[in-house]
Amino acid sequence: MIQELLDKAVNTHQLKHGELLTLLQTEDSAPLLAAADSVRRQYVGDEVHLRALIEFSNHCRNNCCYCGIRRANRKAVRYRLKPVEIINLGQQAAAMGFKTVVLQSGDDAWFDVPRLTYIISALKKLDLAVTLSIGEKSREEYQAYREAGAARYLLRIETTDSDLYHRLDPGMSWENRRRCLQDLKELGYEVGSGIMVGLPGQSLSSIADDILFFQECDLDMCGIGPFIPHPDTPLADYPGRAFDLSLKVMALARLLLPDINIPATTAMETLNPEGRIIALQSGANVVMPNVTSPECRRFYELYPDKAGVGETAENSRDSIAGKIRAIGRSIGRSAGSHKSKKS
């Protein structure tokens, strides 16, 4: 029964809600993870694309109940890099051989259109592909960043259960987040979304809906990570930390969207010292080493004990690159765009 479902997924890349649910409920995940690994090899090959992650501000106007940098967390030490510092980090990343930078922050209005377009244009001059992960903006803002040269955007839907979303993200609207993903797609971005796994009140049935949503959105990238409770948030006492289930969800995303880019997330590494390597062998093909300066990266604390906090940019890159080669994979030499988008 399980093998039949997996054969169907490997051959057709289609599964119904009930079939996804069966696979999510199956205890022995090894056949699923192996199927995702083989689809990954067939569609995107053995290259692992590295993206330099710059966490440039932890100021945030939102109050997401799971997130350590939520507005109401008075204990969070806030920082904001200057545009020139961000560009310098981009320069270092380019010198280290990265082809892509990912700019991530809280939802911080200080970074407005003039400031961000200046930064994006400067990074483009360094021949870097620019990915933004800066939250919900108006269509006009997204358009300005696209015109300045940003090519990709990451915005997780977090959950497709809109009731759960509204409970966990007070003051925000699920429909607006959906609207953002739609605008980004229409503006020609490569669009990444994804979810957290193991949120309080999240059912397996809702996770099956999430996976079908990824397919419906025709995503180019999909990031999946376990929810890890942060002590200074309203969800401090919830268990979370669902490593095995996160892997399964990621593997199912690979089966249904065979040629997209899927990162092995830092949250997975945080729960298991080999988490990213395990993820790379279960469907993932991207890693995002952190190049933020060590003084700041510890304050970008979405969840506690984040992997790699004590490392420098070089450590972050070298330790993962060595492990990638040790499992017989290679480091991508190109910008690593979504395959079907290559001209």
* Residues at the site binding ligand SAH, with contacts judged by CB under 6 A: 66-67, 104, 106-107, 133-135, 155-156, 158, 196, 225, 227-228, 230, 267, 302-303
Q: Is 244 exposed, middle or buried (0-12, 13-18, 19+ CB in 10 A)?
A: middle
Spatial CA neighbour of 292 closest among 280, 306, 271, 304: 306
Smallest gap from Cβ 73 to ligand SAH, in A, equals: 11
Beta carbons of 331 and 47 less than 8 angstroms apart: yes
CA 100 – CA 123 distance, rounded (Å): 10
Q: Could you give the residue ranges of the DSSP H alpha helices within 149-293?
A: 162-168, 174-186, 204-216, 243-256, 266-271, 275-280
Q: Which two tokens stand for residue 28?
A: 């022995």
Q: Which two tokens stand for residue 83?
A: 């545009």
**DSSP secondary structure letter of residue 247:** H
Q: Which residues, other chains included, contact 219 with Cβ-Cβ below 8 Å and sequence gap of 6+?
A: 191, 192, 193, 257, 260
Q: Which is nearer to ligand SAH, 5 or 224 (CB)?
A: 224
Smallest gap from Cβ 174 to ligand SAH, in A, equals: 13
Q: Which is nearer to ligand SAH, 106 or 283 (CB)?
A: 106
CA 191, 70, 55, 258 torsion: positive or negative? negative
Smallest gap from Cβ 86 to ligand SAH, in A, equals: 16
**DSSP secondary structure letter of residue 49:** E
Q: Which is nearer to ligand SAH, 11 or 176 (CB)?
A: 176
Q: Which is nearer to ligand SAH, 15 or 190 (CB)?
A: 190
List the 47-50 sheet strands across, edge first: 286-287, 47-50, 330-331
Q: Which is nearer to ligand SAH, 133 or 202 (CB)?
A: 133
Q: Which is nearer to ligand SAH, 102 or 208 (CB)?
A: 102
Smallest gap from Cβ 196 to ligand SAH, in A, equals: 5
CA 21 – CA 205 distance, rounded (Å): 6
Q: Which is nearer to ligand SAH, 145 or 258 (CB)?
A: 145
Smallest gap from Cβ 181 to ligand SAH, in A, equals: 11
**DSSP secondary structure letter of residue 127:** T
Smallest gap from Cβ 43 to ligand SAH, in A, equals: 25
Smallest gap from Cβ 30 to ligand SAH, in A, equals: 25
CA 21, 22, 27, 31 torsion: positive or negative? negative
Q: Which is nearer to ligand SAH, 35 or 246 (CB)?
A: 246
Smallest gap from Cβ 156 to ligand SAH, in A, equals: 4
